[in-house]
Amino acid sequence: MLNMDFKQRVVSNTAQQDWVASPMPGVWRKPLAREDVESGHATSIVRYDPGAQFRQHDHPKGEEILVLEGAFSDETGDYPAGTYLRNPRGFHHAPFSTEGCVLLVKLHQFQADDTQHVVIDTHRDPFRPGSGNLLVLSLHQHGSEQVALVRWPAGERFQPHSHFGGEEIYVISGELKDEHGSYPRGTWIRSPHMSRHHPYTDQDTLIWVKVGHLPG
């Protein structure tokens, strides 16, 4: 197991991690959290080399993908960088990438009654004003779980706050900071239920964020 104690705060700078080969040729991973070697709960950065493909499979407890670089494909279409996908229980596909791609992938983490299939092009959908000067693009909400992209302008200071149900962040660009440290592009942060921090930025920053999904 890797990082499966949800009461612990975890910070991983994925730029400093080595790629680990998957069972499929040309598909590589940087594991961030994993329940078992090839099954169960998993969060990873995944890279497809150009022309790599994965055998057909399903996702008994769902699959969540954010395309970070390149273009990801399956039988349903081609999904360029900036695409957010949710493939629920019962969804089958044989993914591949013609040009190569890098993904943030979360497996086996859907709530039992969350059956919505989601495809969002985050470069086309509008961001809306959030707290302070933040701009927010909502990606998904189910029960207490909320997923969004958040744009932070340089110099933004957010109010100190706690995370009921925890918080998970991936820094897509720029650098996020708080009283605990600095988090450059490629950093993954998972903060437990009722954790608290005071985030800010010194430069324009884009993050993927999920809240309300971790056990108490």
Confidence class for position 216, pLDDT limits 50, 70, 90: confident
CA 190, 171, 114, 107 torsion-angle sign = negative
pLDDT digits (tens, 9 = 90+) for 52-72: 998 888 888 999 999 999 999
Q: How far apart are CA 1 and CA 170, in angstroms?
A: 21
Taking only the tens place, the pLDDT of each residue in 119-137 is 999 999 999 999 999 999 9
Which residues make beta-bridge pairs with 182? 177
Burial 69-80 (b: 16+ CB within 10 A, else e): ebbbbbeeeebe
- CATH numbers and ranges of domains, the chain: 10-120 (2.60.120.10), 126-211 (2.60.120.10)
For residue 176, the Cα-to-chain-centroid distance in whole angstroms is 16
